[in-house]
Structure 1
């Protein structure tokens, strides 16, 4: 089976893990974090181009901590796209805030600025644009709309580490950026997340939130949780981040190959890279006009791990039905019915890429 994604782990990561084990410093509950965490944060902030990076134990924790730092809670409203992973929105529910869903653009699958403008208001405290599949959202217009109503912008950059919007790294444009370091991401620690910001006060608050609201140990000043990143994860992340440019180059080449090989197929829409964007090609997603599930099943039977991100839009998920206002999200629902993703990870061989193309073309001929 050619999986949808495969972590690229080398000897460097293995040696880094052993170094942590030999040090016996497996974790550190201090405000600053352990030495491996601090070094990972320094390198990450430098790469994204921000003053602060705060390591946490997942991308979900990154969003939750960001909303907590901005005092999102009961009586607050947040806006998120209706086509993304659930935690973009469930984190608001955990804080008893109200979530409203915004439709997406059909070409990029990112939040629709036009629908955002219809729904943003003084009631909204935070908008969370998602750089879905690694393609940046239209941040200038999103920030402008948010500023008009004094709304904070928290970028869900879970899939977009290394992607650029008009030359700026995603995660450096809004007030806060939130990244995932899950095993399927561009850079992985197995699990893990990172929060980025240029705001000194928010950075201090976020470091407290990730460790029980403490500043100097056993002195909890604000509500917090244990969201800390262990030292082993940070050590892996350090080595992964050193390789990110190589990873992205390979992904871009693989995406170029697919675009070229699949460009003449009817009833299929290929992913785009808008002129304002430089995407990391975290996920290569195509749109098929019909029988998407049959295409996916056929490809899996032939040994290609085609996957659907995401088969149900958020407004249809049971967890949100009693918490959100119903409303049409036609582009979200259309994408959920028609998209599928193909393997694009850096270590795909030429033979594997050609096989993915062959199986996809065979599936299209059979079902479309």
Structure 2
């Protein structure tokens, strides 16, 4: 998998536009600057130190923060000291999901991590959103003691040297880093960070986030401790037992929104005292129509686009799902094809659920 221009630019342009996670006020650069401008560092001697026999600047970093995350990557950053050429630069630990390891000790500048174009564990420095030129790790080691995708960064960088590179797209659109002949370089002091990085909106103490001990609910954001305890594929030594929930009452579960919700049982018709009995990835629970996208459409009617469940019966059970592939038609819930009332329909099971909705076969082609 190669790193494609559009993906990376969109991600780092969010940084400039203020949509990234925990954006510092002095990031450098601005949204009006072309991120692919192959910009020379502001001072030709910015990466050289006459006191260093190798001509590299000795640097440290501080103020780690979660910079950006999505379903295929997570990126942390810290401010480099001293400034380079009088301008603020940042060090990034950028992790891209590949079929590889993310816990262990990894040599920098070797194997998969030898180029910005395909690194899984990327150590790189940029000024603001200037992606045309930066510094990329060519040697040293990165030790990771926790999976960085869990929003925990427990890592040590040792003997890390970053060399000046240009970054340009090749014929396939992948961003490739090329060392600058005679370019500048940075020598990073041994750096250790052991820190949790809660999601935006988290209101409980930071140390409670993803602490591997308790599911903290009602903290303003989802706590990963409330989810599955064993990642896929599961480690045989992993204990799948859910962690205890703190903040919810008896008969409540913690929803993916990080809120406590009363449970019900949709298949056996155990109702809610209030609200509508429906289901989501975390199981059957009592839903609030205005908050949880419950539509007023009856089975066979059209839902308002964007809503999820529909067909609420007289006992407040949602009996349908809004089909976003068929004009948001409210279709009946099913567990198997046998539950579908119309001949020829099949049960389209939803991801992460044991049930779905009845859907007719696709129209024949030709």
Smaller-chain TM-score bracket: under 0.3
When you count strand as a share of all residues, which structure comes out higher?
A: 2
When you count helix as a share of all residues, which structure comes out higher?
A: 1
| RCO higher in structure (CA 8 A, sep ≥6) | 1
Looking at CA atoms only, which structure, 1 or 2, has the larger radius of gyration? 2
Q: What TM-score, normalized to structure 1?
A: 0.24
